[in-house]
Chain A
Amino acid sequence: MLNRLKTIKIGKKIKLHMIKTDKFKTNLVSVYFQRPLVKEEVTKNALLSMVLPRGTKSYISSKEISKALEGLYGAFIGCDVAKKGERNIIQFRMQLVNDKYVEDKEVFIKGMQILNEFIHDPYLVDGCFKKDYVDQEKENLIKKIEGRKNDKMKYSYERCIEEMCKNENYSLYEYGSIEDLKNISNESLYEHYKKIIHSTPIDICVVGDFDEKEMESLIAKKLNFKQEGVISVEREKIECIPDDVKIIEDEMDINQGKLNLGYRTNIPFESELYYPLLVYSNIFGGGPNSKLFKNVREKESLCYYIFSRVEKFKSLMLIGSGIEFNNYDKTVSLIKQQMEEMNSGNFSNEDIESAKNSIITSIRSMTDSPYMLADFYFSQAISNNEDTLDEMIKKIRTVDKEQIITAGKSIKLDTIYFLKGKGEVR
């Protein structure tokens, strides 16, 4: 691996992860704020991620910011929220073209100034966010939350999780809820901002070609973090043996039914069984040679897409597929039957090898994308995992059939979610 990782602490709870490589045309700086995923905060965090890009002290409007970024050879800056288990992540990302390709040799330094203002110096009017900006972004956020249903595949997947984890924070949508949004004022949002900006554990990932010593002092100098009373985010609970299977149906005016099956794996990411679980999921529904693809799609022509995914931090496994409304029973029983096959060990050594190779290819492929590299090292940081990529690959290599079957035994079906057409019978 060409990528050198160096992690240093630059504050009480600020970690700087430097991934040095000269193969990219750009430098990327990702700043991750870790908050707990809780109802009181999730909507505010989402709104904040939309208000901060509206203006800073020196660039008081989106237009001014955009002009500055265009002048820096199309530097990209983005702020967004994400859900990693029951952690609510607010992330800032800045990607800049590397100075060596352009005439301007100060692209990076100028970029860092903008990024710092983005985080620490928002545009204020009378000591508060500009009211117009907050009102407009509240409107946009309502549209965004309402707009969830437009992407049926993603929507049904998220709805399945929502129903599954009804009484857990993991069911919260990362963009929050319209109801909670109504109660957020310009002032309360700014109060929230002031509270979290200093009290949040932060990870910064830098990917690109730079001198590490210089980068360290540059980041410390340019990004003015001051921390006090920093919170700790708790590890989510994951054990759950469902009493019985919940069956949930929604209706929409659509052409194709969306089927999702949600399972509790009961395998935390710290467990020795975590990698066997990944292999299990890959043999089951990973790619075009998986059991689900071969049997549900190729043999029975029931669907075009079918997949199995593991939600690492919450220990869930989800199956998703798009089918005819009246093929519901047939598809569900096929999926269950294939799972039986898995759990009885009816898969070959070739299947195991292929699945391992496929997972390893995905892991190794991450090293060619700055964004994925940054996200990977951040994920490692929040799961207190010190494994390097090579060590991960070694662990995957040693997974054996018995472990895969053992992992399968603790996977329990929790919820079947079906999005069907209006008035259709499944």
Chain B
Amino acid sequence: MTIKQIESKLLKEKMVLKELQNGLKIFFMPKEGYTKQYAIFATNYGSNDSKFIVPGESEVTKVTDGIAHFLEHKLFEEAEGNIFDKFAELGSNVNAYTNFTSTCYLFSSTDRFYENLELLVKFVQSPYFTDENVEKEKGIIGQEIKMYDDNPNWKVFFNALKAMYHNHPVKIDIAGTIESISKITKEDLYKCYNTFYDPSNMIIFVIGDVDENKVFSIIEKNQKKEEKVEKKIERIYPDEPDTVVQNIIEEQLDVSIPLFNIAFKDTNNGLNGRALLDKDISTKILLDMLFGKSSDLYTSLYEEGLINDTFENEYTGEIDYGYSMLGGESKNPKKVLDKVLEYIENMKNKGLSREDFERIKKKHIGQHLSYYNSVEFVATTFVAYHFKNINIFDYIEALKNIKFETIQDRFKEHFNAKRCILSIISPKTFE
């Protein structure tokens, strides 16, 4: 049992970390004056963890696509029905999501917080899978998959991942396919649950105007496991070459105008903690300098009618993979790509502007501060960064200290036309 106080003078915020005997880490962030309370119970287990060695076994386990997400759905089942009713009585909103690297269970409430918290802590630790309730879910998730199949933004994004990655499981849809989930059994679910839902692989983050001691004592009282297991889960990720699979991937859907994603694949992977945070921040600043609303490229593309206000950029930096992405709607995505690559070449010759850098840095500082208005944002972002060994309180300080030279180096290294792909969803042509 250890307790640690963490404070950020820049943000004027603080949080407390308590680690339990069984390895569970609890973070509590007081938010004075807030009406809403928010808690998130997360496991470091997402759709990317499809190949692993269960601690104590020697064989490699390979699971079917979509199982982490399926498990998320099924954890809401209890022997006496599902947990929704109990949360509903309390009037809170309970939900969950699965992404590539984590599965998160959460609620937000404005009343009876401690009862909600107890419920959350208990249900995530009580799996109840039967042949019947597993079967029933296949139809529901089937409709969820179909819903995403009709979503052009989702498709354009996943096709981009497929074009970038040869082997890495990030190219596989989080929910799997109707075919892959049809094979799931309750035994598979228990196996994944027992492997990844161990307190030592999980965290709880609580934020709101509530009592710290009460938060800790409720969570501690409701632990099923007492002792920490000192065995590690071995996750197996395939070797991923630096190259991309294909430079262009195109699919037709029933849309009115083409949607596109342009992505640059990262190669210097394997960083975590502060090094990863610096890479994250410098890439995001760089993207705004090059492609943000005040950039020359944005202006010329916009004036030519090649992009509209949906044009955005983002960077995803995980420990074992990463990419920058630009995307939006365009009547001519290929022309946008040509202009982007041409512009990058020109900028490499011309050099980046220090003035732009200082201004965009200011923008990011203000933006980051404003994110702290939202308890949901803080909670979900905290979890995502924690699993990369980063505490989000360090973000603003790292941002303030980022150097222009770091940005210049990153620019030279990251934007390589060979590792660039274009994903297009174009309107269907009916014969």
Contact = CB atoms under 8 A, between A and B. Distances in A.
A321 to B, nearest CB: 9
B78 interface: no
Contact of B138 (A63, A74, A150, A301): A301
B366 A72 contact: yes
A256 B33 contact: no
Contacts of B294: 63, 66-67, 70
Given A143-B256, A143-B257, A357-B111, A23 B33 contact: yes
Given A139-B305, A301-B139, A368-B36, A66 B146 contact: no
A74 B147 contact: no
Nearest to A100: B12
A354 B150 contact: no
Interface string A140-155: 1001101111111100
A66 B256 contact: no
A287 B94 CA distance: 9
A369 B136 CA distance: 38
Interface string B304-318: 010011000000000
Interface string A345-370: 00000100110111011001101111
A253 B92 contact: no
A146 B256 contact: yes
A368 B257 contact: no
A358 B139 contact: no
A255 B366 contact: no
Interface in A354-403: 354, 356-358, 360-361, 364-365, 367-370
Interface string A1-42: 110000000000000000001111110000000000000000
Contact of A253 (B141, B151, B253): B253
B366 A360 contact: no
B328 to A, nearest CB: 11
A266 to B, nearest CB: 28
B144 A304 contact: yes
A302 B139 contact: yes
A354 B88 contact: yes
A143 B427 CA distance: 13
Nearest to B143: A304
Contacts of A150: 152, 255-257, 259
B366 A350 contact: no
B33 A73 contact: no
Contacts of A356: 91
Nearest to B252: A253
A160 interface: no
A256 B299 contact: no
A140 B33 CA distance: 42
B32 A23 contact: yes
Interface string B283-297: 000000000111110
Contacts of A148: 256
Interface stretch (B20-28, B241-249, B368-376, B380-388): B368-376
Contacts of B144: 304
B88 A152 contact: no
B91 A71 contact: no
Contacts of B259: 150
Interface residues of B, number: 73
Interface in A205-254: 252-254
Contacts of A144: 308
Contact of A23 (B10, B31, B92): B31
A369 B374 contact: yes
B146 A322 contact: yes
Contacts of B151: 151-152
Contacts of B147: 153, 256, 304-305, 322
Given A23-B34, A66-B294, A301-B140, A360 B305 contact: no
B240 interface: no
Interface in A99-132: 101-102, 132
Contacts of A75: 366
B309 A140 contact: yes
B200 interface: no
B138 A66 contact: no
Interface string A49-91: 0000000000001110011011111111000000000000000
A320 B303 CA distance: 39
B146 A256 contact: yes
B366 A73 contact: yes
B300 to A, nearest CB: 10
Contact of B363 (A2, A70, A301): A70
B366 A301 contact: no
Contacts of B33: 2, 21-23
Interface string B120-148: 00000000000000001111110110110
A311 B385 CA distance: 38
Given A71-B362, A370-B373, A256 B143 contact: yes
B279 interface: no
A288 B88 contact: yes
A146 B258 CA distance: 12
A101 B12 CA distance: 8
Contacts of A272: none
B101 interface: no
A323 interface: yes
Contacts of A301: 136-140, 143
Contacts of B256: 143, 146-150
Contact of B308 (A2, A74, A102, A140): A140
A303 B91 contact: no
A353 B89 CA distance: 7
B337 to A, nearest CB: 19
A70 B362 contact: yes
B149 interface: yes
Given A63-B293, A66-B292, A149-B255, A323 B110 contact: no
Contacts of B292: 66, 70
B418 interface: no
Contact of B91 (A254, A297, A304, A357): A357
A289 interface: yes
Given A63-B293, A71-B362, A364-B110, A253 B428 contact: yes
B150 A358 contact: no
Output the residue of B34, B147, B149, B259 with the most chain A CB within 10 A: B147
A144 B308 CA distance: 9
A288 B110 contact: no
A289 B85 contact: yes
Interface in B245-281: 253-257, 259
22 contacts: A63-B295, A70-B362, A73-B366, A95-B370, A96-B366, A97-B369, A136-B302, A143-B329, A143-B331, A150-B256, A150-B259, A153-B147, A254-B254, A301-B137, A301-B139, A304-B144, A305-B147, A353-B89, A357-B88, A358-B91, A367-B35, A368-B375
Given A147-B329, A149-B254, A253-B254, 10 more contacts: A23-B33, A26-B369, A63-B295, A97-B366, A101-B10, A287-B88, A305-B143, A322-B147, A356-B91, A364-B36
Complex A-B, nearest 7 residue pairs according to Cβ-Cβ distance, in ascending order: A357-B91, A73-B366, A301-B139, A74-B363, A289-B88, A74-B366, A66-B294
